[in-house]
Amino acid sequence: MQPLQLILDPPAAGAWNMGVDEMLMERAAEANLATLRFYRWSPATLSLGYFQNAADRETHAASNACPMVRRSSGGGAIVHDHELTYSISLPTAHPLAADAETLYRNVHGTLLEALAEFGVEARLNEAALVQLAGEPFLCFQRRAVGDVLLDRYKICGSAQRRRRGAILQHGSVLLGRSAAAPELPGVIDLVDTQAISRLTPTTLAEVWIHIWRSQLSPLESYGEYSPDDLKLAGVQASTKYGSAVWTNRR
């Protein structure tokens, strides 16, 4: 199987993070490059799903002070603060891209095993939550089949975007409660074990990478982005994801 390039990025602004994911998706389509990326956000940022209305952010007062970015994938809004985010960019010919639901479950399945190393017994959701009215604004208050649950709380959800020649899947693991989303507990708020003291974005990524290598595909160290990568990501960040026209398009 074609190995995935592995990228471990430091915390960055929302527009940059989304610009890099877009760049990696383009590289997957044009250069047949498959990539697994782990990253974080600074400052804490609210990301809207592609189909959400920007005005709806006013319904969530706790996150109103956060900068806002719009993702290219669907789903509900996410407050990116005390968490680990991942993305997978694959050429459509890659075996892992063959079936969208299988990719979703495979990634979340390896996350379950990684969390178990810290004494966290999470599970996959097997039934969508039926809403009597519209869906909640926040992603972590929604339920889809294959989401990762801890007790009755969602701690990880993912979304996909497909374009000709490539697929992007990205998702967030909620590790701790954010002041910008106090209604959402994270893993460390829900588990009382000695091992949980070792759980950080860095240690979770390390364990998750090890499990990924053993179960899903080989991983190769990618190192730094090339100048062309940085240029393309910068263009996406400034002209698209950092643009009020894109953010407020709905």
Strand 78-80's sheet: what is its strand order? Answer: 68-70, 45-48, 78-80
As a whole number of angstroms, the distance between CA 104 and CA 159 comes to: 8
Q: Do 152 and 164 touch, CB atoms closer than 8 A? A: no
In a domain, 114, yes or no: yes
Structure tokens given for 124: 């996959």
Q: Is residue 249 in some structural domain? A: no
Please tell me the predicted confidence (pLDDT) of residue 12.
Answer: 98
Does 28 fall in a domain? yes
Residue 248 lies inside a defined structural domain of this protein: no
CB 8 within 8 A of CB 225: no
- DSSP string for 117-149: TTT---EE--SPPPPSSSPPSBGGG---TT-EE
Q: What is the pLDDT at residue 131?
A: 57
Q: Which positions are annotated as active-site residues?
A: 139
For residue 217, what pLDDT is reported? 83
Which amino acid is present at 53? N
Instruction: Please give the tally of structural domains in the chain.
Output: 1
User: Is residue 140 a part of any domain in this protein?
Assistant: yes
Provide the pairing of β-strand 123-124 with 83-91: unpaired
Angle between helices 201-215 and 100-116 (to 10 degrees): 120
Query: What pLDDT, on the 0 to 100 scale, is given for residue 128?
Result: 66
Q: Is residue 250 part of a domain?
A: no
The domain in which residue 52 lies consists of 4-243
Beta strand 153-163 pairing with 123-124: unpaired
CATH number at residue 160: 3.30.930.10
d(CA 127, CA 122) in angstroms, rounded, equals 15
Helix ranges restricted to H, the chain: 14-31, 100-116, 187-190, 201-215, 227-236, 244-247
pLDDT in the model for residue 129 = 60
What pTM was estimated for this model as a whole?
A: 0.94
Q: Which tokens go with 68? A: 């806002």
Distance CA 17, CA 119 (A): 30
Q: Does residue 218 fall inside a structural domain? A: yes
In a domain, 152, yes or no: yes
In order along its 250 residues, the chain shows pLDDT tens digits of 678 999 999 999 999 999 999 999 999 999 999 999 999 999 999 999 999 999 999 999 999 999 999 999 999 999 999 999 999 999 999 999 999 899 999 999 999 999 999 999 999 998 766 555 678 999 999 999 999 999 999 999 999 999 889 999 999 999 999 999 999 999 999 998 777 889 999 999 999 999 999 988 878 876 679 999 999 999 999 999 999 999 998 8
Quote the CA–CA distance of 247 and 250 in Å, as a whole number: 8
